[in-house]
Structures are given as C-alpha cells and as structure tokens.
Structure 1
Amino acid sequence: MLYGGIEAGGTKFICAVADEKLHIIKKISIPTTSPKTTFEQVFKFFDQYPIDALGIGSFGPIGIQPNQKNYGHILTTPKEGWSGVDFLGEMEQRYNVPIAWTTDVNAAAFGEVKRGAAKGKRSCIYLTIGTGIGGGIVVNDEIFQGLSHPEMGHLYIKRDPDDIYQGSCPYHRDCLEGLAAGPSLEARTGIKGEKLSLNHPIWNLQANYLAQALMSYTLILAPEVIVLGGGVMNQDHLLKKIRHQFTTLMADYMETPRIEDYIVPWGLANESGVIGTLLLAQKEFKR
C-alpha cells in the first residue's frame, strides 16, 4: 500500500510517497514554474511508484464544489499562468486512484490535528504566516468548508492609527495578509524579518494585528486550539507577544484554555502540509 501527497505552493511543490503506516519513503521539492513543466516533474516522480491514493493540498483559491465546473481548478491567482488550471483533472487523467483535493493550509491543519500540535483535539485552526497568510479549519475530523474554503488571511482588521503602510494585498490593502504577512516587515523597515532585532517596535504591531485576527477566529469558531506556522513564526519572541496581545484584547470576555496551550507553534514544522496530504490520501482510500 502506497500513498502519494502533493503540497502545492506558489513557490514549490513538495511531493511525497509513504507506506501504509505513513512512513515517508521518498520526498522531493519541485520549483513551481509553468503548469506544463511543473506537472511533468510531478508525473516523473509519481510514475515511479504504484500509488493507491493521492492527496493534494494546493495554493488557491481553488474550486471545491464537485457540482461546479471549476471543481478541481485553481481559480484567480497572482501566480502567472496558473489561473484556471484544472489541477485535479491533470492528476485524474494520469492516475486512476482515489484523490483527495483541498487547499494547502487545510491539508496542514489536518496534519496538525492528526499528528502535530493539535493531536487529540476535535477541532483546530491552523494559520500560516509567511509570504502570505492563510488558514485551515478542522472540526470533528473533517476539514471545514462551505460555499468555498476559508480565506482567513483576508479578514479585515483594525489598522493602528500610526501605521502608514498601505498594505501589500492587491485586493484589500487593509486585510490581515496585507498588513501582517512577511513582506510587510521589510516594506515598513527596509530590513528582512529574520534580520530585525528582537526589540524592534514592528514586532508589537505585527503581534497586535495577528492577535486581532485570532480573537475574531476564536469568537466565531471557538476552536480547541490555534496552531501558528510559517516562516514569520520562526521568531519565538513573536509568539509570546501574540499571546500577550490576545489576552489583552479578549479582556476575559470568553474563557479559553491556558494561553500557552491555546495558541501554540506548529508541531510539524515545515511538514504539516505534506503530512496532511498523505493523511488525506489514506482517508480517501479508506472511504
């Protein structure tokens, strides 16, 4: 029994094959270039293995409603050449196996709730903070989705009155992603995030914007745990600031677990997504 997984990001595709116990046999990274070139590399990798099911977690937005014509497609995306690509269709034509299809952050959320920082919980939110901001939700072992999948990075937040940065999101400017994703750090300071000093005031602003979002998610969804991942969260001091700001903003209005147990770092650092896709492949096969 072999399962395949694809964590498809705008920068790279992580492809993996695992056995029935989900021990990874082989994993590779493929640069995300043109669809044709990228898919050729994906096929070259998976053609070596007789996989029994495949899980895909893709950058988005994506079509998730099976009764819609755009199901399985990547929708409007700034990634050149990828808007409208029938990702799922390409895989189905190549491999006659059950295929699970969702977003990369949903897959990561599933990975974290099954094997990572949210293991043993019935519900969790996973938020990745990097070049962009995206989130996934798992409730009762199922990925949450409705009309579409969550776009948690585009939640509007209250701008600090002293913040004159226009925001990096080409659609909304003042949304969470526009004001708090990784590029905002360098855009405001001229210094890359990983090189900023720990006491730079930008971190307090960053923490406030993220804490605002986490408060909104908590009030709406009341998850058992919130897991934070992505490149920006490699800053340990930022997690402490977010927790402090969240506690201040909530003002004891709603009871949550102890803050150190409620807002936590990812347990599968840099692997949440690919492990999630393998778990979803296994689940799809059993279904």
Structure 2
Amino acid sequence: MSSTAPLIAGLELGGTKCIALLATGPDDVRETRTIATGSDPATTLAAIEAVLDEWAFDAVGIGSFGPVQLDPAAPDFGSITATTKPGWTGTDLVQRLRARYEKPLAIQTDVNGAAIAEARWGASRGLHTHAYITIGTGVGVGLVVDGRPVQGVTHAEAGHMRVPRAPGDRFKGWCRFHGDCVEGLISGPALAERFGCPGQELPQDGPQWDLFVHDLTGLLHNLVMGFAPERIAIGGGVIAAREHLFERLRTRLAESLGGYGSIASYAGELDRRLGPPGLGTMAGPLGSIAMGLEALGA
C-alpha cells in the first residue's frame, strides 16, 4: 500500500465485542484492538475513544449492530434505536465521535458495511447485487444493489424475518421483539437458550444443526425469491467455525427453491453463489474501513 493512502480508524460494534482497527485496507492493517461490548454504552465508548486517542487517522468509519438511524435528516442520526442489546437503545454514536475527532465520518450497519467491503475487496467484486448475512449475537442481512445498501424508510431487518417452523419444533424463540423470528431461532444467544449450552459447545454434527439449517434455509429461500442476489456470503461467529454446514445449506436451499422458473438455474449454481465471505472473519472489521473511505469519497 502507498504511504499516501488514507488511514482510517474503523469501528465494528458488535453485540459481544467491538473491534477497532487502524488501516488503509485489507493489505495494510496497522493495529487491531478488541473491546468488550458492555451493558453500559458510556463505558464501552470511553474505552473505544481511549484507543482512538492514541492513533492519527484521516477519517472514521463505523459498522454497528442495529437497528441504527441512518437518515441524515433525522435528529437522532447515527444513534442506535430500539435494540435487543440491553442498555444500548438510544445510544448516540455519530455526534459523539464527530465532535471529539472532527474528522470525516460515515456509518452503516455492520452487515451493510461487511457487504460493501466484500464488494470492494472480497468475493463480491464486480457484482451488481449481493448479500452478506452475519450469524452471531444477532442475525443481520446486508443487501447491496448497484453499490449501495438497500434502504427504505429505514435499513432492512431481514434477520427478523419469520420463516416456517420445523415440524415439532416448539421453541418459543429468543428475540424479545418477535420471539421466533430467524434471529430468535439461530443467533448465538438463541442457540444457547434453545439447547441449554453455548453454540460453540454443541457437537459439530449434532442433531441441533438440523434445526439451524432448516431455519436458515427459510431465510435464504426468501432472500433468493425476493432479490436473487448474485452471491450470498454468510459470516459471523456461529457459522465461521462450522463451514461444513454450507454443503447442507446448498442442498436444502436447492430443494426449497423447487425448480421454479429462472430460479432453477440459480439452484444449480449454489457452489459459487452461496458461501463464506471472501474476506473471512475480517469482512466485518473491514466494513468499517470501507465506510471511512466512503466518508473521504475514496
């Protein structure tokens, strides 16, 4: 990387941890720090600021768990709105950091940021329509069309989509807003509540993953039928350690699509259309770097 490339302070805010990194891009990451996401936003943000205070940078990029107010005209622009993360509803991010550092700043949801990073540096380069799904503390979906995240009155929340339940599955769901939405069924906290132990302690090929594949396939079916993205990347802590599930997801998704219309050929191409992010576990953190570059128009 050229020494004249813009240096970005990137912040990926997750439900469990926040990652701060100083970088120009994936080939030039100068520093990375991890801060626990506590229940007191002021304490967490102060710890993040202590890291940023040590760095010199040209812009700030943020990819945050949501929901996030992304309408620049809204009085609470850049704040987290009603969220499942205890204590964080109403937390301002943009105004606080912009006032402290007086640098160009851009914000997106963590999944939208990761999707933009995948288009800039990863497996979605050159594609017009692609998606990034994260499965961790929550479930989020970033959908990008012609270089921009899909945005209506607010950003999409496809992770809270409802899907048909597996026969005999009576789990009420973890999401405190919707109960058995996708996030309420397959996120890390949902798996822990559903099966009585953290997801990382479940056996790699245990029967619990049959329900996971069933529920995630429902989300994928709706995403393909609604938008037919050229590629769907799935990342996040839950899936990153179990990439062997991709083959099962491809098989189940092809069955679910049912040979319908032009989607029939899509089902035959899932080996290249559905898989892990090209940037691996760095897709999320690099999403914040991509946002900082966007703040500079770079």
State the TM-score, normalizing by the size of structure 2.
Answer: 0.90
Provide the C-alpha distance between the structure 2 equivalents of 1:274 and 1:102, rounded to a whole number of angstroms: 12
Aligned partner of 2:224 in structure 1 is 218
Aligned partner of 1:6 in structure 2 is 11
Provide the C-alpha distance between the structure 2 equivalents of 1:41 and 1:269, rounded to a whole number of angstroms: 26
Question: 2:285 matched to 1:274?
Answer: yes
Provide the C-alpha distance between the structure 2 equivalents of 1:11 and 1:224, rounded to a whole number of angstroms: 30
1:113–1:121 Cα contact (<8 Å) kept: yes
Query: Which amino acid letter does the alignment assign opposite residue 49 of structure 1?
Result: W
Deviation readout 1:182-219 (Å, 9 max, x if unpaired): 33434343344333334432222211111111110111
Deviation readout 1:12-56 (Å, 9 max, x if unpaired): 211111147861111111122322222222222222233111110
Provide the C-alpha distance between the structure 1 equivalents of 2:225 and 2:151, rounded to a whole number of angstroms: 18
Question: 2:49 matched to 1:43?
Answer: yes
Provide the C-alpha distance between the structure 1 equivalents of 2:225 and 2:255, rounded to a whole number of angstroms: 15
Give the alignment partner of residue 200 of structure 2, picking from 188, 194, 210. 194
SS at match of 1:90: helix
Query: Which amino acid letter does the alignment assign opposite residue 249 of structure 2?
Result: I
Deviation readout 1:239-259 (Å, 9 max, x if unpaired): 111111100000111131611
Aligned partner of 2:173 in structure 1 is 167
Deviation at 1:132, TM superposition (A): 1.7
Question: 2:131 matched to 1:125?
Answer: yes
SS at match of 2:97: helix
Provide the C-alpha distance between the structure 1 equivalents of 2:13 and 2:76, rounded to a whole number of angstroms: 18
2:37–2:44 Cα contact (<8 Å) kept: yes
Provide the C-alpha distance between the structure 2 equivalents of 1:83 and 1:158, rounded to a whole number of angstroms: 30
Using the TM superposition, name which of 39-48 and 151-160 deviates more: 39-48
Structure 1 pair 11–205 and aligned structure 2 pair: CA distance change class (3 A): closer
SS at match of 1:102: strand
Deviation at 1:225, TM superposition (A): 0.3
2:128–2:146 Cα contact (<8 Å) kept: yes
Provide the C-alpha distance between the structure 2 equivalents of 1:190 and 1:39, rounded to a whole number of angstroms: 32
Structure 1 pair 71–162 and aligned structure 2 pair: CA distance change class (3 A): same
Among all aligned residue pairs of Structure 1 and Structure 2, give the percentage whose two residues are the same amino acid: 36
Structure 1 pair 178–25 and aligned structure 2 pair: CA distance change class (3 A): same
Deviation at 1:85, TM superposition (A): 1.6
Question: 2:114 matched to 1:108?
Answer: yes
1:204–1:241 Cα contact (<8 Å) kept: no
Aligned partner of 1:151 in structure 2 is 157
Aligned partner of 1:249 in structure 2 is 256
Provide the C-alpha distance between the structure 1 equivalents of 2:289 and 2:242, rounded to a whole number of angstroms: 28
Provide the C-alpha distance between the structure 2 equivalents of 1:12 and 1:195, rounded to a whole number of angstroms: 19
Provide the C-alpha distance between the structure 2 equivalents of 1:63 and 1:235, rounded to a whole number of angstroms: 33
Moved over 4 A (4+): none
How many residues were matched structurally? 287
Provide the C-alpha distance between the structure 1 equivalents of 2:207 and 2:274, rounded to a whole number of angstroms: 22
Give unpaired runs (5+ residues) of structure 1: none
State the TM-score, normalizing by the size of structure 1.
Answer: 0.93
Deviation readout 1:57-77 (Å, 9 max, x if unpaired): 111111111111121111112
Question: 2:97 matched to 1:91?
Answer: yes
Give unpaired runs (5+ residues) of structure 2: 1-5
Provide the C-alpha distance between the structure 1 equivalents of 2:57 and 2:71, rounded to a whole number of angstroms: 25
SS at match of 1:119: coil
Aligned partner of 1:285 in structure 2 is 296
